[in-house]
Amino acid sequence: MSDVKYYKATEVAEKSWQIEYAFTDQEHVYCYLIEGQDTALLIDTMYGYGSLREFCETLTDKPIRLVLTHFHLDHIGGNTEFDSCYIHHLDIANYLDSKLPPREEMLKRVQAEAFPELRDLAELFDMQEFKAVPAYPLYDGDILDLGGRTIEVVWVGGHSAGSVAYVDPKSRIAYTGDCCNSNTLLGFGNSLPIEDYLKNLLHFKHYQDQFDVMYGGHQVLPPSVIDEGIELCARVLAGTDDHEEMESMFGRKIVYAAKHGASTTERADGKLFNRCYSPEKRFACGKTARVINFDPMPMF
Ligand SMILES: [Zn+2]
């Protein structure tokens, strides 16, 4: 491993760390480490630049178990360094099928984004070659016992069918991945219809009194964002949302439920929650929550 320091951590609660990239300020991606008396839990592994495992071992001496909020590549890139992982059962098939960019491409991205003094120091062997390590299924309501500290798995499927939040009532934190934020993307192949997402947000709301903050994969938000998400789902289903058409990162048209202000990241009305979605995928058409889409869609 080169001398580049890829990660840094902030202790956000007792024995709870938010981990982010230290080599750049252009990647707003987070993962989290929580330590119990027996086990430490790593929630997501970001892109796989440098050794996340070695960095985590500077924070805890407990055995580290890996859990995922969902299968997208900016959350699973460092999985290779672990023997196995836990992920909601509805995301397992997509996870096992995941293909990440080759290491050469990862290195180019790191060099493009790194602080100038680090650009020439990053090495190809710093990049993790992705391998989908074995995955154990998680189900809504599962309790993860870390010893003196328990974390509950809450299914908030929508962004991906198997997206979850991990609720830590002791620290009053929910670790939410991408399940509910200012840019909740619901336009992917295995995203759920808005009607199903609404049911799952209402389910998540049952836990709202157990946490004061939501630490996500890209943002830190207050729990009131869940209420804004519920309200906006109802407007989409009623056909009364703002329906703002925009160009997506994949070059196709997508629809945002609430219109943006002067910047393309903030809502015109000042609220925090927003989502994009496929207009044809508002209502659930069957009884199953699972959506099978044979049309491969690029992820990122
Ligand atoms: Zn995602």
Class of domain 7-281 as given by CATH: alpha beta
Distance 200 CA to ligand 1 centre (A): 16
Mean pLDDT of 24-46: 97
* pLDDT for the residue 189: 80
Average of per-residue pLDDT across 121-126: 94
C-beta of residue 215 within 8 angstroms of C-beta of residue 204: no
Instruction: For residue 111, give the 3-state DSSP assignment.
Output: helix
| pLDDT tens string 96-113 | 999 999 999 999 999 999
What's the pLDDT at 294? 65
The helix or strand, by DSSP H or E, that contains position 127, with its residue range, turns out to be none
How far, in Å, CA of 41 to CA of 29, rounded? 18
Q: How far is the CA of 117 from the centre of ligand 1 (A)?
A: 31
Share of the chain above pLDDT 90, in %: 78
Backbone angles phi, psi at 247, to 5 degrees: -85, 130
**pTM score, whole prediction:** 0.92
119 Cα: distance to centroid of ligand 1 (angstroms) = 27
Distance (Å, rounded) from C-alpha 140 to C-alpha 207?
A: 12
pLDDT one-digit tens code per residue, 69-97: 999 999 999 999 999 999 999 999 999 99
Distance from Cα 242 to the centre of ligand 1, integer Å: 23
Q: What distance in angstroms lies between residue 231's CA and the mean position of ligand 1's atoms? A: 22
CA atoms within 13 A on the CB side of 138: 31
- Report CA(159)–ligand 1 centroid distance (Å): 7
Distance 148 CA to ligand 1 centre (A): 30
Ramachandran angles phi, psi of 162, nearest 5°: -110, 25
The neighbourhood of ligand 1, an ion, using CB within 5 A, equals 72, 178
Angstrom distance (rounded) from CA 92 to CA 9 = 28
Ligand 1: distance of its center to the CA of 282 in Å? 19
Query: Minimum mean pLDDT among 11-25, 117-131, 217-231: which range?
Result: 117-131
Q: Name which of 10, 6, 2 is nearest 173 in CA terms.
A: 10
Q: What is the torsion angle, in degrees rounded to the nearest 10, for the CA atoms of residue 290, residue 98, residue 142 and residue 179? A: -70
pLDDT of residue 253: 75
Domain edges within the chain: 7-281
**Ligand 1 centroid to 19 CA: how many Å?**
17
* Mean pLDDT across 280-290: 64
In this predicted model, which residue has the larger pLDDT, 293 or 195? 195
Flag whether pLDDT at 300 surpasses 50.
no
Q: Which amino acid is at 93?
A: A
